[in-house]
Amino acid sequence: MWADMMNVQIPLLDKVLRTVLVYAGLAILLRVAGKRDLAQLNSFDLVVMLLLSNVVQNAVIGPDNSLTGGLLGAVVLILLNSGVVRVSNRYPRLLRLFEGSPTVLVSNGRPDNVALRKLGLRRSDVIAACRQQGADDLEEIKEATLTPGGTISVTLTDESRDVTIHELRAEIGQLRTELLQAIAGQAAGTAGGAAGEAPAG
């Protein structure tokens, strides 16, 4: 049993090549498919991402179910990814080639319908994602950008930011007032109790 677990059933070079080729294939597919799948803005995108790992599993492991083979594949994946990330960070052109560039989805409160159609995004999904970033309405958004990593970055207009800061300051002021009143009430109660307990002269 131990031998079955540890003995790799295919040549090591075969295992390494399978892992590298699947990694490269997935990287190309995700680059071609665009940032939309990475963003997972709806349940369909999530299903695709969940199934991708299952679909390519057999291509990575091949006819080998050994523990050693699985660990070797994992090591190759981690080292390969680490190398790609380090090289990409050193050379910005490669980073743009691998990941692409950010896409503006909303500008000055108006959605870019051409960009939404190109990415295959629904307006309602974008609005929901922007709300999670603190925008209550599209008119509050100065710019919303879909990054190459699939996240939506939202910049609020100056007015909306000022309102948010003003509301926050007002809430802090109210909490401070309530706290001071509670402390004063507690101090008055303590002083009254102490006076009641003082012995009569």
Interval 66-94: pLDDT, tens: 778 888 888 998 999 888 888 888 887 87
User: Is-contact 142 133, C-beta < 8 A?
Assistant: no
Interval 19-58: pLDDT, tens: 899 888 888 887 777 666 666 566 777 777 778 878 888 8
**What is the spatial distance between Cα 8 and Cα 20, in angstroms, rounded to a whole number?**
17
pLDDT of residue 79: 92
* pTM score, whole prediction: 0.58
Q: Which two tokens stand for residue 24?
A: 């490269």
Q: CB 103: neighbour CB atoms within 10 A?
A: 20
Interval 89-123: pLDDT, tens: 888 787 777 777 788 888 888 888 888 888 888 88
Percentage helix, strand, coil for the chain under 3-state DSSP, each rounded to 5: 70, 10, 20
